[in-house]
Each structure stands twice: as structure tokens, then as C-alpha cells.
Structure 1
Amino acid sequence: MSWQAYVDTSLLSSGQIDAGAIFSVAGDAVWAASPDFRVTLEEVKTIVGAFSDSSSVQTNGFHVDGDKYMYVHHDDRSVMGRRHDYAVIIWVKTKQALIVGRTPPGSHPQAAEKVVEALADYLISLGY
């Protein structure tokens, strides 16, 4: 399956995610993205850095597709943020990929988080 197919079928078709993308885990390449979801590599690198030192995103939040998100939580594998209109952004890291999913405003973040985590688990099972 192509990287774009993972975004389209695993993320967007779930109904929990309205925009998503997959990047290299280093944050230096876009592997696939939903239409009109323009996450810059600078924005991705901020998230990559948050996995090792989250102090900056905890204090200042972070941007995705030009929108500012406030830091909600992170662990070794994921970073979550929330926008003022209650849209949620979820970043999940695998060995080789960084997956991002954005929810529509007012959606249930736990359901969306499960969708992104499930794709990450699948990619990890394939060695990615």
C-alpha cells in the first residue's frame, strides 16, 4: 500500500480525523498528506524536538498547518495539542515514521487518538 493510501484509508476514512499526514521520523520529508493540509517541515521539526525536550512546546505551544495548538500531553511515542476551537492534533512516532492526525472541532479526542495509534501500531508491526 502507498503512503497516501494509509492517510486516506487508515486516517481520513475513520471519520475521526479530518486531516492527516505521514513524515519521516527525522521530520525532513513528507511521505503523504491529505489535500490542503500544509504542514511545514519546520513545524514537523518542532514536534520531533518535543519528543526529546518538550519544555518549549509545553510553554509556547506549537503550530501545525499555520494554526497554533496548546500543548496537552506527551509521552515517548506521542504529542497531543488542542486548538481554541477544540480541534485536537495527535502526533505519533514509530521507528521510521511520524504520523499526524487532526480532528474536526468538537470531536472526541480519545477516538481520534485510537485511530492514529492503530496506524502507528500497524506500521511498527511492518518494521516501520
Structure 2
Amino acid sequence: MSWQGRLADLGSLPRNNSLVGTGHIDKAAIISVAGDSVWAATSGFTVSPDEMKNLVSVLSGNSAAVDKAHADGIHIGGDRYVVARIEDRSIYGRQGRNGICVAKTKQAIIIAHHGEAQVAGNATQTTEALADYLIKAGY
């Protein structure tokens, strides 16, 4: 399975193996855990190099980056999201009725966006389930 396939709407994948295919996520990207490359992205969803580096800093527990994220928010795709919470491997943010869920695995960072038509809790559960699956698979 390709990284792009993890994002695509592919009916043959189990529900927890495809983000957009679940209907809980409208766009997503998978980047390297180093924040130096995009492995897959849905059409029109672009994460800049600076945005990737910032996510890596926050997820690595850099206290200055975490404090800045809480104060100023997280930028993804050029949009600012107010940080709702930061956990060990995850960041959750809101922009009005839209939101993001970012989950780190051993080798990748999953960035999932949900629109106002989707339920934030379902988007979070879907993203975290894919992260768990990738971790169990060695990624």
C-alpha cells in the first residue's frame, strides 16, 4: 500500500486504513517524522516546509515551540488553527467549525483536516486509529 493510498478514498481498504475514505476527514497529508518531506497529500492540501518543521518541534516536546503553539496557534496549509490541546504524540486545533488532528508515529506525521460538515471527535478517532495501525506495522 502506498502512502497516497492511506489518504485516498479506496473502498478496498479497511476503514481505519484510509482517512478520506471514512468520510470523517476531507483532506490530509503524511509527512516524514523529520519534517523534511511530504510523503502523500490530498489534492490542494499543501504543508509548507516551515509548517512541517514547526509541527516537528511541537511534537518533539520543545517547550518554546509548545508555548508558542498555545499562544499563537498552529499554521497548516497557510491557515491558522487555535490549539485546543497538545498530547504526547498529537496536536488538535480549531478554526471556527473546521479543525485539524496531527498524530505522530515512529516514522511519519499524519495531518488530517475536517470541515464543518464532519464531527471533530470522529475525525480525531479516525486519525488516531490510522496512527495506531502504522505504529503496529512498524511505521
Normalising by structure 2, what TM-score? 0.88
1:74 aligns with 2:86: yes
Q: 1:114 & 1:4 partners in 2: Cα distance?
A: 20
Q: Which amino acid aligns with 2:80?
A: K
Q: 2:123 & 2:68 partners in 1: Cα distance?
A: 25
Q: Which runs of 4+ in 1 moved over 3 A?
A: none
Q: Secondary structure at the match of 1:107?
A: coil
Residues 4-83 of structure 1: matches in 2 within 5 Å?
4-9=4-9, 10-51=18-59, 52=61, 53=63, 54-83=66-95
What whole-Å deviation, never above 9, does each CA across 1:76-124 have from its counterpart, x for those lacking one?
110011003x101000000110001000125311100011111111110
| RMSD over equivalenced CA pairs, Å | 1.0
Determine which structure has more spread, i.e. the larger CA radius of gyration. Answer: 2
Q: 2:45 & 2:27 partners in 1: Cα distance?
A: 6
Q: 1:34 & 1:65 partners in 2: Cα distance?
A: 12
**2:122 equivalent in structure 1:** 111
Structure 2: 5+ residue runs without aligned partners?
Answer: 10-17
Q: Which amino acid aligns with 1:120?
A: A
Q: Secondary structure at the match of 2:45?
A: coil
Q: Secondary structure at the match of 2:69?
A: helix
Structure 1: 5+ residue runs without aligned partners?
Answer: none
Count of residue pairs brought into register by the alignment: 127
